[in-house]
Structure 1
Amino acid sequence: MFGQLKSPEGCSVEQLSREDVPQITMLLGTWYPDIRVGTESRHLEPSFYDKDVYLQGESPDRPVYAFICRDLATRDIIGLMTLERNVRGLQLSATMGAVEPSQRGLGLGQLGISLLEQVGRSIGAEVVLYYSTLKLARVQRNAEHRGFKLVGLVPAFDVDAIAPNTVKRVYEALYAKVLVGPERVHLPDWNALIPTTRALYTHLFGPHPSAAASEGAPPSLTVPASAQVPTSASEVRHG
Protein backbone atom coordinates (compact mmCIF):
# COMPACT_ATOMS: atom_id res chain seq x y z
CA MET A 1 0.00 0.00 0.00
CA PHE A 2 2.81 2.42 0.73
CA GLY A 3 4.06 2.44 -2.87
CA GLN A 4 6.84 5.02 -3.14
CA LEU A 5 5.67 7.02 -0.13
CA LYS A 6 8.67 8.64 1.53
CA SER A 7 8.76 8.99 5.32
CA PRO A 8 10.49 11.90 7.07
CA GLU A 9 14.15 11.24 7.80
CA GLY A 10 14.65 9.01 10.84
CA CYS A 11 11.11 7.61 10.77
CA SER A 12 9.42 4.50 9.45
CA VAL A 13 5.77 3.61 8.87
CA GLU A 14 4.26 0.18 9.44
CA GLN A 15 0.90 -1.46 9.97
CA LEU A 16 -0.18 -1.71 13.58
CA SER A 17 0.30 -5.16 15.11
CA ARG A 18 -1.66 -6.74 17.92
CA GLU A 19 1.32 -6.68 20.25
CA ASP A 20 1.48 -2.88 19.95
CA VAL A 21 -2.19 -2.29 20.84
CA PRO A 22 -1.72 -2.05 24.66
CA GLN A 23 1.11 0.43 24.20
CA ILE A 24 -0.67 2.60 21.63
CA THR A 25 -3.82 2.91 23.75
CA MET A 26 -1.66 4.06 26.67
CA LEU A 27 0.38 6.49 24.56
CA LEU A 28 -2.65 8.13 22.96
CA GLY A 29 -4.03 9.19 26.32
CA THR A 30 -0.68 10.80 27.10
CA TRP A 31 -0.10 12.50 23.74
CA TYR A 32 -3.64 13.64 23.19
CA PRO A 33 -5.70 14.07 26.39
CA ASP A 34 -8.70 15.43 24.45
CA ILE A 35 -9.16 11.99 22.88
CA ARG A 36 -11.04 10.87 25.98
CA VAL A 37 -14.24 12.45 24.65
CA GLY A 38 -15.92 12.27 21.27
CA THR A 39 -15.69 9.84 18.38
CA GLU A 40 -11.92 9.41 18.64
CA SER A 41 -12.21 7.99 22.17
CA ARG A 42 -12.80 4.55 20.63
CA HIS A 43 -9.05 4.42 19.95
CA LEU A 44 -8.51 4.00 23.69
CA GLU A 45 -10.61 0.81 23.82
CA PRO A 46 -8.95 -2.57 23.10
CA SER A 47 -12.30 -3.86 21.82
CA PHE A 48 -12.12 -1.36 18.93
CA TYR A 49 -8.95 -3.01 17.67
CA ASP A 50 -10.42 -6.49 18.16
CA LYS A 51 -13.58 -5.72 16.22
CA ASP A 52 -12.81 -3.02 13.62
CA VAL A 53 -9.06 -2.70 12.94
CA TYR A 54 -7.12 -4.62 10.32
CA LEU A 55 -3.96 -5.59 12.24
CA GLN A 56 -0.80 -7.16 10.83
CA GLY A 57 -1.48 -10.74 9.79
CA GLU A 58 -5.15 -10.62 10.72
CA SER A 59 -8.45 -10.21 8.86
CA PRO A 60 -8.23 -7.69 5.99
CA ASP A 61 -12.03 -7.47 5.99
CA ARG A 62 -12.12 -5.11 8.96
CA PRO A 63 -12.89 -1.54 7.88
CA VAL A 64 -10.19 0.42 9.72
CA TYR A 65 -6.53 0.53 8.73
CA ALA A 66 -4.08 1.57 11.46
CA PHE A 67 -0.51 2.72 10.83
CA ILE A 68 2.15 3.62 13.35
CA CYS A 69 5.26 5.70 12.87
CA ARG A 70 8.45 4.69 14.67
CA ASP A 71 11.67 6.47 15.44
CA LEU A 72 14.27 4.44 13.53
CA ALA A 73 16.96 4.94 16.17
CA THR A 74 14.95 4.00 19.26
CA ARG A 75 12.07 2.01 17.67
CA ASP A 76 9.71 4.05 19.86
CA ILE A 77 6.20 4.62 18.52
CA ILE A 78 5.85 8.34 17.78
CA GLY A 79 2.61 8.51 15.80
CA LEU A 80 -0.62 6.77 14.85
CA MET A 81 -3.04 7.27 11.97
CA THR A 82 -6.25 5.38 11.27
CA LEU A 83 -8.18 5.29 8.01
CA GLU A 84 -11.68 3.88 7.49
CA ARG A 85 -12.96 2.51 4.21
CA ASN A 86 -16.46 2.44 2.82
CA VAL A 87 -16.37 -0.53 0.46
CA ARG A 88 -19.73 0.11 -1.19
CA GLY A 89 -19.04 3.79 -1.75
CA LEU A 90 -15.38 3.29 -2.76
CA GLN A 91 -14.40 5.90 -0.17
CA LEU A 92 -11.55 6.16 2.32
CA SER A 93 -11.54 8.68 5.16
CA ALA A 94 -9.01 9.70 7.78
CA THR A 95 -10.49 9.01 11.20
CA MET A 96 -7.70 9.99 13.58
CA GLY A 97 -4.08 11.09 13.63
CA ALA A 98 -1.88 11.76 16.63
CA VAL A 99 1.82 12.50 17.07
CA GLU A 100 4.02 12.37 20.17
CA PRO A 101 4.30 16.05 21.21
CA SER A 102 8.12 16.26 21.07
CA GLN A 103 8.06 14.87 17.51
CA ARG A 104 5.74 17.48 16.02
CA GLY A 105 7.30 19.50 13.25
CA LEU A 106 8.97 16.53 11.52
CA GLY A 107 6.39 16.45 8.74
CA LEU A 108 4.34 13.56 10.09
CA GLY A 109 1.12 15.50 9.51
CA GLN A 110 1.83 15.82 5.80
CA LEU A 111 2.95 12.20 5.75
CA GLY A 112 -0.41 11.17 7.18
CA ILE A 113 -2.35 12.99 4.46
CA SER A 114 -0.10 11.51 1.79
CA LEU A 115 -0.69 8.10 3.35
CA LEU A 116 -4.46 8.63 3.11
CA GLU A 117 -4.15 9.28 -0.62
CA GLN A 118 -1.64 6.49 -1.26
CA VAL A 119 -3.67 3.86 0.55
CA GLY A 120 -6.83 5.10 -1.17
CA ARG A 121 -5.27 4.62 -4.58
CA SER A 122 -3.92 1.21 -3.59
CA ILE A 123 -7.30 -0.17 -2.54
CA GLY A 124 -9.26 1.35 -5.43
CA ALA A 125 -10.97 4.18 -3.55
CA GLU A 126 -12.39 6.82 -5.86
CA VAL A 127 -12.54 9.64 -3.34
CA VAL A 128 -10.67 10.28 -0.09
CA LEU A 129 -12.04 12.44 2.73
CA TYR A 130 -10.17 14.27 5.45
CA TYR A 131 -11.81 15.89 8.46
CA SER A 132 -9.64 18.57 10.03
CA THR A 133 -9.77 20.14 13.45
CA LEU A 134 -10.10 23.91 13.42
CA LYS A 135 -7.97 24.22 16.55
CA LEU A 136 -4.71 24.03 14.57
CA ALA A 137 -4.01 26.01 11.39
CA ARG A 138 -1.18 23.70 10.35
CA VAL A 139 -3.55 20.75 10.01
CA GLN A 140 -5.65 22.69 7.53
CA ARG A 141 -2.55 23.85 5.64
CA ASN A 142 -1.28 20.26 5.42
CA ALA A 143 -4.46 19.20 3.63
CA GLU A 144 -4.29 22.08 1.16
CA HIS A 145 -0.59 21.48 0.55
CA ARG A 146 -1.39 17.93 -0.56
CA GLY A 147 -4.03 19.09 -3.01
CA PHE A 148 -7.15 18.44 -0.96
CA LYS A 149 -10.13 20.72 -1.56
CA LEU A 150 -11.99 22.37 1.31
CA VAL A 151 -15.60 21.46 0.58
CA GLY A 152 -17.33 22.43 3.80
CA LEU A 153 -17.38 23.34 7.47
CA VAL A 154 -19.47 20.93 9.51
CA PRO A 155 -21.04 22.55 12.58
CA ALA A 156 -21.32 20.54 15.79
CA PHE A 157 -19.56 17.66 14.02
CA ASP A 158 -18.06 16.06 17.13
CA VAL A 159 -17.53 16.46 20.84
CA ASP A 160 -14.22 17.93 22.03
CA ALA A 161 -12.59 19.28 25.17
CA ILE A 162 -12.16 22.99 24.44
CA ALA A 163 -10.78 23.88 27.88
CA PRO A 164 -10.19 22.12 31.21
CA ASN A 165 -13.47 20.62 32.40
CA THR A 166 -15.30 22.10 29.39
CA VAL A 167 -16.65 19.83 26.65
CA LYS A 168 -18.68 21.16 23.73
CA ARG A 169 -19.64 20.23 20.20
CA VAL A 170 -17.18 21.68 17.69
CA TYR A 171 -16.89 22.60 14.03
CA GLU A 172 -14.60 20.64 11.73
CA ALA A 173 -13.43 21.25 8.16
CA LEU A 174 -14.13 18.65 5.49
CA TYR A 175 -11.54 18.23 2.74
CA ALA A 176 -11.89 15.95 -0.29
CA LYS A 177 -9.72 14.67 -3.12
CA VAL A 178 -11.17 12.80 -6.09
CA LEU A 179 -8.94 9.98 -7.36
CA VAL A 180 -10.73 9.25 -10.64
CA GLY A 181 -10.90 11.13 -13.91
CA PRO A 182 -13.63 13.64 -14.78
CA GLU A 183 -15.40 11.10 -16.99
CA ARG A 184 -16.32 9.23 -13.78
CA VAL A 185 -17.82 12.29 -12.09
CA HIS A 186 -21.39 13.42 -12.75
CA LEU A 187 -21.99 17.12 -12.17
CA PRO A 188 -25.27 17.98 -10.43
CA ASP A 189 -28.18 19.20 -12.54
CA TRP A 190 -28.02 22.99 -12.31
CA ASN A 191 -31.81 23.24 -12.61
CA ALA A 192 -32.23 21.00 -9.57
CA LEU A 193 -30.19 23.32 -7.34
CA ILE A 194 -31.85 26.02 -5.25
CA PRO A 195 -30.20 29.49 -5.07
CA THR A 196 -28.22 28.82 -1.92
CA THR A 197 -26.91 25.52 -3.29
CA ARG A 198 -26.00 27.20 -6.58
CA ALA A 199 -24.12 29.90 -4.71
CA LEU A 200 -22.16 27.37 -2.68
CA TYR A 201 -21.38 25.23 -5.72
CA THR A 202 -20.08 28.27 -7.61
CA HIS A 203 -18.03 29.40 -4.62
CA LEU A 204 -16.40 25.99 -4.21
CA PHE A 205 -16.01 24.79 -7.80
CA GLY A 206 -16.47 27.78 -10.08
CA PRO A 207 -19.17 28.36 -12.72
CA HIS A 208 -21.29 25.36 -13.60
CA PRO A 209 -21.30 24.61 -17.38
CA SER A 210 -25.09 24.82 -17.50
CA ALA A 211 -25.07 28.15 -15.70
CA ALA A 212 -22.70 29.58 -18.30
CA ALA A 213 -24.88 28.20 -21.11
CA SER A 214 -28.04 29.68 -19.64
CA GLU A 215 -26.39 33.10 -19.61
CA GLY A 216 -25.53 32.85 -23.28
CA ALA A 217 -21.84 32.00 -22.86
CA PRO A 218 -20.28 28.94 -24.51
CA PRO A 219 -20.55 25.94 -22.16
CA SER A 220 -17.36 25.39 -20.24
CA LEU A 221 -15.91 21.89 -20.07
CA THR A 222 -13.81 22.77 -17.05
CA VAL A 223 -14.00 20.10 -14.37
CA PRO A 224 -14.15 21.23 -10.72
CA ALA A 225 -10.75 21.14 -9.02
CA SER A 226 -12.02 18.48 -6.63
CA ALA A 227 -12.57 16.14 -9.56
CA GLN A 228 -9.18 16.58 -11.17
CA VAL A 229 -6.45 13.98 -10.81
CA PRO A 230 -2.66 14.45 -10.81
CA THR A 231 -1.11 14.54 -14.26
CA SER A 232 2.17 12.96 -13.26
CA ALA A 233 3.36 10.35 -10.82
CA SER A 234 5.46 12.94 -9.01
CA GLU A 235 2.28 14.68 -7.83
CA VAL A 236 1.15 11.52 -6.11
CA ARG A 237 4.28 10.88 -4.17
CA HIS A 238 5.30 12.52 -0.94
CA GLY A 239 8.80 13.81 -1.07
Structure 2
Amino acid sequence: MKITILTMFPEVFNSINSYPLIARAINRGNLELKIVDIKDYAGGSFRHIDDSPCGGGIGMILRIDTLMRALNASTNEKSYKILLSPKGSVYNQKKARELSKMDDIVLVCGHYEGVDKRFESHVDELLSIGDYILSGGEIPALCILDSISRLLGTIRDGATEDESHENGLLEYPQYTKPVDYFGDKVPPILLSGNHQAIDRWRHKEALKETKKYRPDMFERYKLSDEEKKMLEEE
Protein backbone atom coordinates (compact mmCIF):
# COMPACT_ATOMS: atom_id res chain seq x y z
CA MET A 1 0.00 0.00 0.00
CA LYS A 2 0.98 3.63 -0.38
CA ILE A 3 0.74 6.21 2.41
CA THR A 4 1.30 9.89 1.63
CA ILE A 5 1.62 12.41 4.45
CA LEU A 6 1.01 16.10 3.75
CA THR A 7 2.73 18.23 6.37
CA MET A 8 4.20 21.65 6.99
CA PHE A 9 7.03 20.07 8.96
CA PRO A 10 8.51 17.19 6.91
CA GLU A 11 11.58 17.12 9.16
CA VAL A 12 9.44 15.39 11.79
CA PHE A 13 9.50 12.31 9.56
CA ASN A 14 13.21 12.39 8.66
CA SER A 15 14.14 9.27 10.60
CA ILE A 16 10.91 7.33 10.20
CA ASN A 17 12.38 4.99 7.56
CA SER A 18 14.77 3.63 10.17
CA TYR A 19 11.98 2.65 12.56
CA PRO A 20 12.09 -1.19 12.50
CA LEU A 21 8.51 -2.15 11.59
CA ILE A 22 8.07 0.68 9.11
CA ALA A 23 11.48 0.00 7.54
CA ARG A 24 10.61 -3.69 7.26
CA ALA A 25 7.30 -2.91 5.56
CA ILE A 26 9.07 -0.63 3.09
CA ASN A 27 11.93 -3.06 2.41
CA ARG A 28 9.48 -5.90 1.78
CA GLY A 29 7.54 -3.80 -0.69
CA ASN A 30 4.42 -3.80 1.47
CA LEU A 31 4.54 -0.06 2.07
CA GLU A 32 5.43 2.93 -0.06
CA LEU A 33 5.80 6.06 2.06
CA LYS A 34 5.86 9.60 0.67
CA ILE A 35 6.25 12.81 2.69
CA VAL A 36 4.97 15.99 1.00
CA ASP A 37 5.88 19.48 2.20
CA ILE A 38 2.74 21.63 2.01
CA LYS A 39 4.96 24.74 1.90
CA ASP A 40 6.09 23.70 -1.57
CA TYR A 41 2.59 24.50 -2.80
CA ALA A 42 2.24 27.91 -1.19
CA GLY A 43 1.51 30.70 -3.64
CA GLY A 44 2.92 34.19 -4.00
CA SER A 45 6.34 35.57 -3.20
CA PHE A 46 5.60 35.22 0.51
CA ARG A 47 4.53 31.57 0.16
CA HIS A 48 1.19 32.05 1.87
CA ILE A 49 0.30 28.93 3.82
CA ASP A 50 -2.01 30.42 6.39
CA ASP A 51 -3.90 33.60 7.11
CA SER A 52 -5.91 35.29 9.85
CA PRO A 53 -9.48 34.05 10.38
CA CYS A 54 -12.29 35.84 8.58
CA GLY A 55 -14.42 37.70 11.11
CA GLY A 56 -11.49 38.13 13.46
CA GLY A 57 -10.07 35.91 16.16
CA ILE A 58 -6.85 34.53 17.53
CA GLY A 59 -4.52 32.25 15.60
CA MET A 60 -3.87 31.45 11.96
CA ILE A 61 -5.87 29.24 9.59
CA LEU A 62 -4.37 27.03 6.88
CA ARG A 63 -5.50 28.31 3.49
CA ILE A 64 -7.68 26.14 1.28
CA ASP A 65 -5.88 27.12 -1.94
CA THR A 66 -2.49 25.97 -0.63
CA LEU A 67 -3.92 22.77 0.82
CA MET A 68 -5.80 21.94 -2.37
CA ARG A 69 -2.70 22.39 -4.56
CA ALA A 70 -0.79 19.99 -2.29
CA LEU A 71 -3.68 17.54 -2.16
CA ASN A 72 -4.36 17.52 -5.89
CA ALA A 73 -0.69 17.00 -6.67
CA SER A 74 -0.51 14.03 -4.29
CA THR A 75 -3.70 12.10 -5.03
CA ASN A 76 -5.62 10.30 -7.74
CA GLU A 77 -9.16 8.97 -8.03
CA LYS A 78 -8.25 5.94 -5.89
CA SER A 79 -6.71 7.86 -2.99
CA TYR A 80 -8.51 7.78 0.35
CA LYS A 81 -7.99 11.23 1.85
CA ILE A 82 -7.95 11.77 5.63
CA LEU A 83 -7.68 15.07 7.47
CA LEU A 84 -6.22 14.71 10.97
CA SER A 85 -8.41 16.93 13.11
CA PRO A 86 -9.60 17.10 16.75
CA LYS A 87 -13.18 17.06 15.45
CA GLY A 88 -12.70 13.72 13.69
CA SER A 89 -13.92 10.32 14.84
CA VAL A 90 -11.52 8.72 17.32
CA TYR A 91 -9.00 6.34 15.76
CA ASN A 92 -9.02 2.76 17.01
CA GLN A 93 -7.76 -0.71 16.13
CA LYS A 94 -10.79 -1.47 13.99
CA LYS A 95 -10.04 1.58 11.86
CA ALA A 96 -6.35 0.59 11.69
CA ARG A 97 -7.32 -2.78 10.21
CA GLU A 98 -9.74 -1.11 7.82
CA LEU A 99 -7.09 1.31 6.56
CA SER A 100 -4.44 -1.43 6.29
CA LYS A 101 -6.54 -3.10 3.59
CA MET A 102 -6.58 0.02 1.39
CA ASP A 103 -4.17 0.65 -1.48
CA ASP A 104 -3.62 4.40 -1.27
CA ILE A 105 -4.07 6.62 1.81
CA VAL A 106 -3.30 10.32 2.17
CA LEU A 107 -2.96 11.83 5.66
CA VAL A 108 -3.26 15.61 5.84
CA CYS A 109 -1.70 17.17 8.94
CA GLY A 110 -3.57 20.19 10.21
CA HIS A 111 -1.73 22.88 12.13
CA TYR A 112 -2.06 26.23 13.85
CA GLU A 113 -5.65 27.15 14.76
CA GLY A 114 -7.06 24.78 12.15
CA VAL A 115 -7.82 24.51 8.46
CA ASP A 116 -10.29 26.38 6.30
CA LYS A 117 -13.66 24.66 6.78
CA ARG A 118 -14.14 24.38 3.02
CA PHE A 119 -11.22 21.96 2.79
CA GLU A 120 -13.15 19.32 4.75
CA SER A 121 -15.44 18.67 1.79
CA HIS A 122 -12.43 17.57 -0.27
CA VAL A 123 -11.39 14.71 2.02
CA ASP A 124 -13.10 11.38 2.70
CA GLU A 125 -12.82 11.32 6.47
CA LEU A 126 -11.68 13.26 9.54
CA LEU A 127 -9.75 11.33 12.19
CA SER A 128 -8.53 12.16 15.70
CA ILE A 129 -6.29 10.11 18.00
CA GLY A 130 -8.00 11.31 21.17
CA ASP A 131 -9.88 13.98 23.00
CA TYR A 132 -7.05 16.43 23.51
CA ILE A 133 -5.36 19.12 21.44
CA LEU A 134 -1.94 18.80 19.83
CA SER A 135 -0.02 21.51 17.99
CA GLY A 136 -0.45 19.69 14.69
CA GLY A 137 -1.29 16.48 12.89
CA GLU A 138 2.25 15.13 12.66
CA ILE A 139 2.12 13.03 15.84
CA PRO A 140 -1.30 11.57 14.93
CA ALA A 141 0.08 10.76 11.47
CA LEU A 142 2.99 8.90 13.06
CA CYS A 143 0.59 6.96 15.29
CA ILE A 144 -1.56 5.93 12.35
CA LEU A 145 1.46 5.06 10.20
CA ASP A 146 2.90 2.85 12.95
CA SER A 147 -0.39 1.07 13.68
CA ILE A 148 -0.97 0.31 10.00
CA SER A 149 2.62 -0.82 9.36
CA ARG A 150 2.30 -3.49 12.06
CA LEU A 151 -0.55 -5.03 10.09
CA LEU A 152 1.28 -5.23 6.77
CA GLY A 153 2.99 -8.55 7.38
CA THR A 154 5.88 -7.06 9.34
CA ILE A 155 5.45 -9.33 12.38
CA ARG A 156 4.88 -13.06 12.53
CA ASP A 157 1.46 -14.52 11.74
CA GLY A 158 -0.97 -14.47 14.65
CA ALA A 159 1.13 -12.08 16.74
CA THR A 160 -1.51 -9.33 16.65
CA GLU A 161 -4.60 -11.44 17.17
CA ASP A 162 -4.66 -11.37 20.99
CA GLU A 163 -3.37 -7.85 21.47
CA SER A 164 -5.28 -5.19 23.35
CA HIS A 165 -8.27 -3.78 21.45
CA GLU A 166 -8.25 -6.51 18.79
CA ASN A 167 -11.27 -8.39 20.21
CA GLY A 168 -12.87 -5.76 22.43
CA LEU A 169 -10.68 -6.60 25.43
CA LEU A 170 -7.30 -5.64 26.77
CA GLU A 171 -4.56 -8.21 26.31
CA TYR A 172 -4.00 -10.80 29.03
CA PRO A 173 -0.99 -10.23 31.34
CA GLN A 174 2.37 -11.42 30.04
CA TYR A 175 5.34 -12.81 31.99
CA THR A 176 8.88 -13.92 31.23
CA LYS A 177 12.00 -15.05 33.11
CA PRO A 178 13.03 -15.02 35.88
CA VAL A 179 10.16 -17.22 37.02
CA ASP A 180 10.76 -16.19 40.65
CA TYR A 181 11.82 -12.60 41.23
CA PHE A 182 12.46 -12.20 44.97
CA GLY A 183 9.28 -14.13 45.75
CA ASP A 184 7.16 -12.52 43.05
CA LYS A 185 6.41 -15.58 40.92
CA VAL A 186 5.00 -16.24 37.48
CA PRO A 187 1.50 -17.82 37.79
CA PRO A 188 2.02 -21.62 37.94
CA ILE A 189 -0.60 -22.28 35.25
CA LEU A 190 1.72 -20.71 32.66
CA LEU A 191 4.39 -23.29 33.46
CA SER A 192 2.03 -26.27 33.40
CA GLY A 193 2.27 -27.09 29.71
CA ASN A 194 -1.53 -27.48 29.61
CA HIS A 195 -2.28 -25.19 26.67
CA GLN A 196 -6.05 -25.50 26.95
CA ALA A 197 -5.92 -24.44 30.60
CA ILE A 198 -3.47 -21.66 29.75
CA ASP A 199 -5.78 -20.31 27.03
CA ARG A 200 -8.72 -20.28 29.43
CA TRP A 201 -6.64 -18.56 32.14
CA ARG A 202 -5.45 -15.93 29.68
CA HIS A 203 -8.97 -15.17 28.50
CA LYS A 204 -10.19 -14.88 32.06
CA GLU A 205 -7.33 -12.53 32.93
CA ALA A 206 -8.06 -10.42 29.83
CA LEU A 207 -11.61 -10.00 31.10
CA LYS A 208 -10.34 -9.01 34.55
CA GLU A 209 -7.75 -6.58 33.16
CA THR A 210 -10.36 -4.89 30.99
CA LYS A 211 -12.84 -4.61 33.84
CA LYS A 212 -10.20 -3.09 36.11
CA TYR A 213 -8.37 -0.74 33.74
CA ARG A 214 -10.93 0.05 31.04
CA PRO A 215 -14.43 -0.22 32.53
CA ASP A 216 -15.75 1.68 29.50
CA MET A 217 -14.56 -1.12 27.20
CA PHE A 218 -15.81 -3.79 29.57
CA GLU A 219 -19.26 -2.24 29.64
CA ARG A 220 -19.46 -2.44 25.84
CA TYR A 221 -18.23 -6.02 25.73
CA LYS A 222 -20.94 -8.70 25.47
CA LEU A 223 -20.15 -11.39 28.05
CA SER A 224 -21.05 -14.98 27.24
CA ASP A 225 -22.45 -17.25 29.94
CA GLU A 226 -19.10 -19.00 30.16
CA GLU A 227 -17.27 -15.69 30.59
CA LYS A 228 -19.68 -14.72 33.36
CA LYS A 229 -18.80 -17.96 35.14
CA MET A 230 -15.08 -17.23 34.74
CA LEU A 231 -15.45 -13.89 36.51
CA GLU A 232 -17.40 -15.48 39.35
CA GLU A 233 -14.59 -17.92 40.08
CA GLU A 234 -12.22 -17.44 43.04
TM-score scaled by structure 2?
Answer: 0.28
State TM-score, norm by structure 1: 0.28
Name which one, 1 or 2, has greater alpha-carbon Rg: 2
- Structure scoring higher RCO (CA < 8 A, sep ≥ 6) equals 2
